[in-house]
Amino acid sequence: MSSVGVARVYRGTFAHSTRDSALRVLTDFVLGVNEQGKIAFFEEGQNVESLSHQWGFDTSDIEQLGSHEFFIPGMVDTHIHASQYIFSGTHLDLPLLDWLKTYTFPVELCYEDLDFAKDAYTKVVRRTLSNGTTTACYFATIHTDASLLLGRIADDFGQRALIGKVCMDRNSMVPDYKELTEGCKDETDRFVHELLKKKYALVKPVVTPRFAISCSSSLLSNLGKIAKNYDLHIQSHISENKHEVQFVKELFPDCTSYTDVYVKHGLLTDKTVMAHGCYLTDEELKIFHERGAAVSHCPNSNISLISGMLNVRNVLKHKVKLGLGTDVAGGYSSSMLDAIRRAVDTSKALCMQDAQLQPLSYKEAFRLATLGGSEVLSLDDCIGNFAVGKDFDALRVNLCVPGSPVDLFPGDDPEVILEKFLNLGDDRNIVEVYVAGKQVVPFPDSY
């Protein structure tokens, strides 16, 4: 391309969310990506001549999308356990605490073996990227070196990622799978220091107490200090399952609620994302709003482990930041399309129980999977939609690929085509994936 500063220009249909609109489908728009991978311009197609003069590209260099194609922002998985990917789609016959004891903790122990870790982590990053997850907030395991390896693999593939070395110094379920309090603090410090030292452009550490049940008060306090000292994101679980909520009350009798446990240990900040939240009270949601903390809604997992159903309307009413997570492997699918569908299904199930509730629309669920997720991870200044100046994290979707799971008919307009993709499409329809302007799918042959 003959342009100076503009690396790519696309023309066609784009769909994204804004602060004011759950979904905007924009037909015949022109988008330019600069050499830094950021969106240089995003305007109506009728402005193409003036844009070509302004930015110095030839109109013959524009890549035109087909009538059955469109771009959407990359999807943001705000909660996924990379280490559990190897048994996703299985072991969904037990409630949360039994599930952790029987399946999860024994598997996570295996990540001490770096060859095992490399195989598993390579597969989960490949799979999530091909499913359109451009940003993932990962739980790893307690093993520092394997967690650093996950960071390297995400960087190699070009995925935007927050990587969490899991912290836990209490585990009566599988006593071998835990650390000493001081050792866990030291290893977390080492993990954060080593990962930051790599200076990966898109991969950063996130402080990760597994959940209050598996952490002593001393460890939680230390993790709060580490997060503050390095100004890091924090991720954990909250109010996923009724038995878990009760157990936390018994373990922390001096705290007024599950949320209060995290508040008292300096772990509920404007860079905190808490998964599930099915049983958060209105009072707790007020605290989330006041502190700028976020909730990751994991509808597949909530149903699969018979944990509960999050009332999304109530979370949004309290103006709490909200995104979607796959929660692999409690959630059996690593696709954010599944998270969108299950979020809508869950809201409809709640409506059957309470006629006063309004179901979530597919447009609102789409917003949660893109712009909402970027807000949850405090990355909405650089990703989440096609605003000028943001990184070009995007999926090119084609509904007419060979073997497509979606059929189109005369009269299907762009909004209908998008809705069909969100409800019926899969990775076969995601023909290109871009992160920060770099094409990462299809994968290079070396991967």
pLDDT tens digits, one per residue of 9-61: 999 999 999 999 999 999 999 999 999 999 999 999 999 999 999 999 999 99
d(CA 161, CA 154): 7
C-alpha distances out from residue 106 to 125, 164, 171, Å? 22, 19, 12
pLDDT confidence of residue 445: 78
Q: Say which DSSP state 180 is in.
A: -
Q: Record the tokens describing residue 168, joined without a space.
A: 């836990």
The per-residue pLDDT for 447 is: 61
- Position 58 scores a pLDDT of 94
Flag whether pLDDT at 79 surpasses 80. Answer: yes
DSSP string covering 372-411: IHHHHTT-TTTSSS--TTSB--EEEEETTSTT-S----TT
Q: pTM for the whole thing?
A: 0.97
Work out the percent of the chain whose per-residue pLDDT is above 70. Answer: 99
Q: Tens of pLDDT along 87-135?
A: 999 999 999 999 999 999 999 999 999 999 999 999 999 999 999 999 9
| pLDDT score recorded for residue 260 | 98
> pLDDT-based confidence at 446, cuts 50/70/90?
low
CA angle 309, 82, 205 (to 5 degrees): 100
Residue 212: both structure tokens together: 């209050």
Q: Is the pLDDT of residue 1 over 50?
A: no
Specify the pLDDT at position 2.
41
Which tens digits make up the pLDDT trace of 306-322?
A: 999 999 999 999 999 99
> pLDDT digit string (tens) for 385-436?
999 999 999 999 999 999 999 999 999 999 999 999 999 999 999 999 999 9
User: Is the predicted pLDDT of residue 236 greater than 50, yes or no?
Assistant: yes
| Average per-residue pLDDT for the chain | 97
- What pLDDT is recorded for position 141? 98
Three-point CA angle 263, 224, 187, nearest 5°: 145
Give Cα separations from 63 to 13, 66, 287, 415 (angstroms). Answer: 12, 10, 47, 21
Chain segment 129-167, per-residue pLDDT in tens: 999 999 999 999 999 999 999 999 999 999 999 999 999
| pLDDT higher than 80, residue 3 | no
Q: Using alpha carbons only, give the angle 103, 105, 108 rounded to the nearest 5 degrees.
A: 105
Length of the chain in terms of residues written: 447
**Region 214-243 average pLDDT:** 98
| Complete DSSP assignment for 36-98 | TSBEEEEEEGGGHHHHHHHHT--GGGPEEPPTTEEEEEPEEEEEEEGGGGGGTTS--SS-HHH
Distance between CA 151 and CA 145 in Å, rounded?
A: 10
Q: What's the distance, Cα to Cα, between the start and end of the chain in Å?
A: 27
Distance between CA atoms of 32 and 41, rounded to whole angstroms?
A: 5
Average pLDDT over residues 246-262: 97
